[in-house]
Amino acid sequence: MEQQKVRYMLDILADPTRLRKKLLPVMEECGKLSGKDAFGWALLAKLIYACDQEMLRTISSRVQKRLVAAARQPITVPLLHFVRSFLVRFQWLKSFNEQTLAYICSRAVDFSVESCSESITDLFYRLTSNIYALWAGTKYDYILIKTLKNMLSNVIAEENDGNEKILLRFETAVQRHLPQFISTVFNLHIEVMERCSANDKVAVNEWLDIAYKSAIIVKTEKINSIFRWLRTFLLKARSCAHLAARRISSFISDFYHPSEAYYETVKEYVQLGPDLSINILFKTFIRSAKCQLHSQEYGKIYAKALGAMLELRPYLLDVQDVIELQRLVCQEAFENRNCRPVLSLLNSLLAMNNELVPSPVQIAQSIFSGSEDWCDEVRLGRALCSSISRPS
């Protein structure tokens, strides 16, 4: 692609007045370039974003022709940028291009699954999920659910499934791609839920069924996508998540998996409300605390999850377990005064409200007063110590 021509096109796209005058020639040129070079799709996307509503109506038929052409091209990041620009700016044309968009989304998902173990960029995964969510929302959740159910049950989908087979046909929905496909679909649905409105419905019980069966099968590194999905559900559903609280509790307990995604999910679950299973989780977490936090990869988010239990649900925790945690935290805080996860947990122990648990304020004063790092945890710790030790 000639650099001079590209520079000329970019100059026009940056000038609304020139773009209005040369709109159709620029559109034709971008269309030609997209047929020769993947970068042409990026230029076409930039053109669509640069247009106002009147200009969009002028080029709408030409853009739809390029969308049909895109369905015949290899999946690339620039091509997905073009598809996204169509979904964002031409929302009124989405229903007229349903099957074309379904075909592109299916191929993008297949490409993500096949490239799951390769050095493909996160941008591609985000674009695929974003495009699917913009196109389908929760409308075709039933197809995703049925596809996953068939795969997990090792059932071959029947060819007479009518509309479902026409809309979404995943070539990678086969057993050899099962872990990658599960991970990709859950990542896809995270974006769907993030874009959900209050009126959208999510079949959470069916998704939780699939999550449970999937977690048994997938490898350790793939299960994080399921926990990220669960955390997103907790964030979006808020109080409505109480309806599935028991099942969520069982899932978190049955699939203990030290990772950032797991601890983030636990933190959101604790904030959801009281549940007796939190005490069981707390006992499990204390075992991890016996390994020094400064050497743990997920020490920071682990401390936040454990801190949420201490501060929000202290009355559900066994007193002896809390005292044992105090001992472990204070011991490590003396040995590693600059370990912020440990200092964060110490602050949570100071802030918790349980009259049966003695406050570690004297030890904390010694630790925080001797700290040379004036970080947020130290400032908060000194303030808490001052407040607790102040005469009433």
Quick one: pLDDT band at residue 117, thresholds 50, 70, 90? low
Give me the mean pLDDT over the 278-296 stretch: 83
Question: Could you tell me the two tokens for 48?
Answer: 């669509």
Give me the mean pLDDT over the 96-123 stretch: 86
Q: With beta carbons less than 8 A apart as the criterion, state whether 285 and 252 touch.
A: no
pTM attached to this predicted model: 0.91
Q: Per-residue pLDDT tens for 1-51?
A: 568 888 889 999 999 999 999 999 999 999 999 998 899 999 999 999 999
Is the per-residue pLDDT at 347 higher than 90? yes
C-alpha 97/C-alpha 92 separation (Å) is 10
Q: Per-residue pLDDT tens for 67-81?
A: 999 999 999 999 999
Q: With beta carbons less than 8 A apart as the criterion, state whether 115 and 82 touch.
A: no
pLDDT for the residue numbered 165: 46
- Residue extents of the structural domains in the chain: 274-391
C-alpha 154/C-alpha 34 separation (Å) is 40
Q: Per-residue pLDDT tens for 226-272?
A: 999 999 999 999 888 988 999 999 999 999 999 999 999 999 999 99
